[in-house]
Chains A and B, each alone.
Chain A
Amino acid sequence: MTARVGVVTFPGSLDDRDAARAVRLAGADPVPLWHDDPDLKGVDAVVLPGGFSYGDYLRCGAIARFAPVMNELVPAARSGTLPVLGICNGFQILCESHLLPGALTRNRSLRFVNREQAVRVESTATAWTNRYTEGEEIRIVLKSGEGNFVADDATLDELERSGRVVVRYVGEAPNGARRGIAGISNEHGNVVGLMPHPEHAVEELTGPSTHGLDFFTSLLAHLADTSPAAAAATG
């Protein structure tokens, strides 16, 4: 059965269409989810896309966190069952929801950064990165004004120790992110958030590479591994 992957649209989401397209190119069915509808429609996973949900009012992601669609999403994600990928604004929403530690603050330069960015995949033990190889460098788009990842030292040490730094900027972090962290996961590996945009790097025609596609094919591999049929086969 084809996997069904929800893509949430908040007021101000920009990249929901690209995320849905990436899901389709990876071989899954994208399912549009609406911020004001608490129903997750039985999807197998969810992408929280980039953009400026609720105009970034208050703090990026601070209002989206309380959208009706999050009511079902947050407990399912926290329990480790529902894979969730937060890209850019989606990462900010995951931090505001406390599904991921730390916070995203204003870029150190105060400038919006919009460029192709080399990042290194440092953990392949997640639902969204298992098709990469550890240490692999990929080139995807970074476009954000508040991508400066901060957390206290104890949290950063714990993230490093437990292998939850998923992607790191190659070279100096373009936004000042602590320890060059571009993306992290929760302890189960089902929730991943990152600032750069894998969904913009899935086709030669429109992206800097196709290096982003494996975030989505990784999910399909993960779902195949964790499906009831797979569980029955391995006994």
Chain B
Amino acid sequence: MDRPRELGLASYIAVACLVLIAPIAIVCVLAFSGEGYLRFPPESFSLRWFSAFFGDGRWRQSLWSSFVIALIACAISTVLGFLAAYALVRGEFRAKKVLLSFMLMPLIVPHVITAIAMYFLTARFGLVGNVVWIGFCHAVVTLPIVLLILLSSMQSVDINLERAALSLGGSRLYVFRRIVIPLAFPGILSGALFAFLASFDELIISLFLAGVRAQTLPVRIWNSLHLELEPVIAAVSAFLIAVTGAVLVLDGLIRHLRSSAAAGARG
């Protein structure tokens, strides 16, 4: 219709997309650099920065802390988020929107404030550096993420299936276990994946609560960025990007399976 204008928009979009993705792509390339400092493109490639990362006991310890904390936060927020999402979708009470907006507040309140308040409490009970406790604290910020994902995915679960099962004599608990959870399962998995990712990448709360014992990967990156831009950070960053990529691929797979299952069910 209007070729030059369309072409102008398309080239703008191309540049914008390049700027959006380039920093991440460059870090991934630098992680495989064979040199002692950051030069792009690298003149030689190696896995030395990855072996520096995985070969260092302190980095491995951080990886383990991040993993355990994320697993705890993911488990708590997925269970609580699923129950709350079900209540919000199916419940017949007023003020749903107000209740939801309260539960989303941990995403809005600056994390520095949340983290300092949690630290104030944590320090009193001597829980600084306790991995389980940090997992619980992370669940506060991952819960709203699970909630948002499940609210949009559970909207499409047909309430008539539950009504039918109930009218056929199924108990509430039975219907919940055999109808509601299986139907909502893809959404629950997506929610769990993104909760895990959000906790795995969280920095500010960990920064205050970790102490020296439970430094997570983002905390250790933060600490070393104040000193110098070592190439090993590129390897750790590439690892975190790979975790993000894995979560996005798994989520895409879940969505794909769900939509093909839905198409199959329709015949």
- Tell me whether A and B are bound partners: no
